[in-house]
Amino acid sequence: MLGSLRTALFALTLACSGSTANAADFDKGLAAAQAGDFATALQEWRPLAEQGDADAQTSLGWMYRNGVGVLKDDAEAVRWYRLAAEQGYAGAQYILGFMYSNSEGVLEDNAEAVRWYRLAAEQGYADAQFNLGVMYRKGDGVLKDDAEAVRWYRLAAEQSNADAQSNLGFMHSNGEGVLKDDAEAVRWYRLAAEQGNAGAQSNLGFMYTKGEGVRKDDAEAVRWYRLAAEQGYADAQYNLAVMYRKGEGVLKDAALAHMWLNISSANGKEAAGELRDFIEKNMTREQIAEATQLARSCMESNYQDCG
Q: How many CA atoms lie within 13 A of 98 on its CB side?
A: 26
Q: How far apart are CA 47 and CA 25, in angstroms?
A: 10
Kindly tell me if the per-residue pLDDT of 134 is higher than 80: yes
Question: In this structure, is the dihedral angle defined by the CA atoms of residues 251, 254, 255 and 259, taken in order, positive or negative?
Answer: positive
Q: Amino acid identity, residue 127?
A: D
SS3 content of the chain, % helix, strand, coil (to 5): 65, 0, 35
CB proximity list for 270: less than 8 A, separation 6 or greater: none
Which residues, 6 or more positions from 166, have their beta carbon under 8 angstroms from its beta carbon? 2, 3, 188, 189, 192, 193, 197, 199, 200, 203
Q: Quote the distance between the C-alpha of residue 72 and its chain's center.
A: 24
Local confidence band at 20 (pLDDT 50, 70, 90 cut-offs): very low
With bands split at pLDDT 50, 70 and 90, how would you rate the model's confidence at 14?
very low
Helix (H) or strand (E) holding 148: helix 146-157
Model pLDDT for residues 109-119, shown as the tens digit of each residue: 999 999 999 99
| Structure confidence by residue, pLDDT tens digits, 137-170 | 999 999 999 999 999 999 999 999 999 999 999 9
Q: Are 59 and 41 in contact (CB under 8 A)?
A: yes
Q: What domains sit in the chain, N to C, each tagged with a CATH number?
A: 24-87 (1.25.40), 217-307 (no CATH)
Backbone φ, ψ for residue 184 (5° rounding) = -70, -35
Residue type, 260: W
Give every CB contact of residue 298 below 8 A, 6+ residues apart in sequence: 259, 263, 305, 306, 307
pLDDT (average), residues 208-234: 98
Span 169-179, average pLDDT:
98
pLDDT band at 307, cuts 50/70/90? confident
Measuring CA to CA, how many Å separate 191 from each of 137, 173, 280? 21, 15, 38
Do 258 and 291 form a contact (C-beta atoms < 8 A)?
yes
pLDDT tens digit string along 67-84? 999 999 999 999 999 999
pLDDT at position 13 over 50: no
SS3 159: coil
Task: With cut-offs at 50, 70 and 90, classify the pLDDT of residue 61.
Answer: very high
* Phi and psi at residue 67, to the nearest 5°: 65, 40
Q: Is 16's pLDDT higher than 60? A: no
Is residue 5's pLDDT more than 90? Answer: no
Q: Judge contact between 229 and 221, C-beta under 8 A.
A: no
Check: CB of residue 79 under 8 Å from CB of residue 63.
no
pLDDT tens digits, one per residue of 87-111: 999 999 999 999 999 999 999 999 9
- Report the interhelical angle of 270-279 vs 234-246 (nearest 10°): 20
The residues, any chain, with a CB within 8 Å of residue 58's CB and separated by 6 or more, are 10, 15, 80, 81, 84, 89, 91, 92, 95
